[in-house]
Chain A
Amino acid sequence: MEKKLEPIVKALQEKFGVTVDEFRGEVHCFLKSEQIVDALTLMRDEHSFELLSVLTAVDYYPQTSPRFHVIYQLTSLSQNLSLQLRVPLNGDSLKVPTVTRVFKMAIWRERELFDMFGIEVDGHPDPRRILMPDDTEGHPLRRDFPLGYEEPQFTFNFDEIDLRKPYAKE
């Protein structure tokens, strides 16, 4: 762990009781979902982590506890540091509070989080889907969502496939 990062992680440990994990010099701090807004506010205001670089999730399916990790990758421009906060979520309670009040960047990224993983975001100001159409069923980036494909159209199966094509309706 970098020297400059140690007091920051210590402060997080004292305040939120985070567990810390390190791999190839990257520090991951695990939090509970109800702590994340406070933690991010603390990081932004007191430890000058001005930039939230990444907000996404990783699906650990078929493992169910925890099934998802929601990832908040923070960058401090003034100290040239980065730190990752993670919120593990169990398979049945897929909910995180919105962090849009701390970092505006989350407005779109949390929409993407819901769209791609089905993780609901509490109190989000604009909870629409972002990448998929509104009537899509399922959340594509979950590991149990099958990877789809389109059947190539040849002369012998042209009519059959043409019938299934979703052309714009009148």
Chain B
Amino acid sequence: MTQIEEVTIDQYKHLVSERALTGETMLLNMGPQHPSTHGVLRLLLELDGEVIVNCIPDIGFLHTGIEKNMEAKTFQKAEVMTDRLDYMNTMGNNLAYCMAVEKLVDLDVPPRAQALRVILVELQRIASHLVWLGTSGLDLAAMSMFLYCFREREQILDIFELVSGQRMMTTYIRPGGVWRDVPVEFETAVRDFLKIFPKRIDEYERLLTKNPLFIDRMVDIGYLSKETALSYGVTGPMLRASGVDWDLRKVRPYMGYEQYDFNVPVRTEGDTYARYLVRIDELRETLKIIEQALNKLPMGPVRSDNRKFVTPPRSEIGVSMEALIHHFKLWTEGFPAPDADIYCAIESPRGELGVLLAGDGGPKPRRVHMRTPSFDNLAVLSEMVKGLLVADLVAVLASTDIVLGDIDR
């Protein structure tokens, strides 16, 4: 038993302070079982009483091996792996990957597919923020928040089920467009959601924004300066809460985001409360985008007609031998991509979700690297929590909105 303890401290010797070695401060494992650590994150804390001296996040429990698995599949088939990556942002992952493939092989997307992608990705952003809001409410002991948020998220998942047949692992967005056109009920379903959701945000805000308990636990907790955030590669709402106006939808518009009128919420306080407010404001801005995209949803095809990369519509297969051959060849062999690599990024609910895609001249990628935002957002955690109490750590961790599937890959 004693031997095991010595080995453990050896490994972390260079990370903890001198006092930990003499036993003056205490080393405590928070997680993986702690509810606020999402089940697969261990935080090794060095504590001086209740005060955190050091926090060492320990990741790597999932071993999904998604990047490795994607190398063994063709470009089309590898897409299903991206769903499993960040399971709160499946549409966004699909979009990032498909955009990377489209850029690599130089493929155009018809306008209707672009608008549909925007609507679905923005709905997914709301769903993701709702899970964040619900679980961070839960972490700070607001149980009702969790129930309310999941009620609304359910409605979004119903829309996903309507368009793709799946609630979470959608794979609806495909290279060159989307899987198929949306059913007629889609518009009413989204409009219903747009109608009720603003009132629901007001409800959440009434519960939390001015709540004195909430404010006490969030204001001036977990300060993250602009410089630290940039140095650690933090992106998304966390960076915007630290006063950097950087949103890829605005600065490098993709999928026609330049047509939509929306604001990017920015706060300068850089604390947990600012991150909360940025995300709440984003919910409202996102609704604006969805409404505009739905209002001018163009008619037309939803998939590119480039038969080198995109399978023909299902209806053609019964009547055209050519279509059947294309379909068969594309799904068995895949399409070749140039021996080059590209980087393509979108703004996910957590920040810059980038895909580095390298082709090798054949139908399989040489390397797919997912630059996942949660990874860097968690790396900065130890800087943010030094000197805080253990209870504050829970609030700060909740405000980073990490998804462990995004981190372990």
Contacts and interface: CB of A to CB of B under 8 A. Distances in A.
Interface of A: 23-24, 26, 50-54, 56, 58-60, 71, 73, 77, 80, 82, 84, 103-105, 107-109, 125-126, 128-134, 140-141, 143, 145, 147
B371 A53 contact: yes
Interface stretch (B45-53, B168-176, B351-359): B351-359
Most central of B60, B340, B358, B409 by chain A CB within 10 Å:
B60
A131 B380 CA distance: 17
Given A24-B342, A141-B67, A131 B356 contact: no
B92 to A, nearest CB: 17
B331 interface: no
A63 to B, nearest CB: 10
B70 to A, nearest CB: 10
A50 B63 CA distance: 32
A58 B246 contact: no
24 contacts: A51-B230, A53-B233, A53-B352, A54-B343, A54-B371, A56-B371, A58-B366, A60-B366, A71-B356, A77-B230, A77-B244, A103-B231, A103-B233, A104-B380, A105-B233, A107-B379, A128-B11, A131-B59, A131-B63, A131-B408, A141-B67, A147-B65, A147-B69, A147-B72
Contact of A80 (B67, B232, B252): B252
A50 B235 CA distance: 12
B352 A147 contact: no
Contacts of B233: 51-53, 103, 105, 109
A128 to B, nearest CB: 7
A105 B345 contact: no
Interface of B: 11, 14-15, 59-60, 63, 65, 67-69, 71-72, 103-104, 106, 228, 230-233, 235, 244, 246, 251-252, 338, 340-343, 345, 352, 354, 356, 358, 366-367, 369, 371, 375-376, 379-380, 408-409
A147 B369 CA distance: 16
A23 B340 contact: yes
- What are the 8 A-B residue pairs with the smallest beta carbon separation, nearest first? A105-B233, A131-B60, A104-B231, A108-B379, A58-B367, A23-B340, A56-B369, A50-B230
Contacts of B104: 24
Given A51-B233, A103-B231, A108-B376, A84 B251 contact: no
A44 to B, nearest CB: 9
Nearest to B252: A80
A157 B327 CA distance: 39
Contact of A56 (B14, B72, B252, B356): B356
Most central of A53, A59, A129 by chain B CB within 10 Å:
A53
A3 to B, nearest CB: 16
A124 to B, nearest CB: 11
Contacts of A108: 375-376, 379
Contacts of A58: 341, 356, 358, 366-367, 369
Nearest to B58: A130
Nearest to A58: B367
A24 B101 CA distance: 12
A58 B354 CA distance: 15
B4 to A, nearest CB: 11
B252 A147 contact: no
Contact of A105 (B59, B103, B231, B342): B231
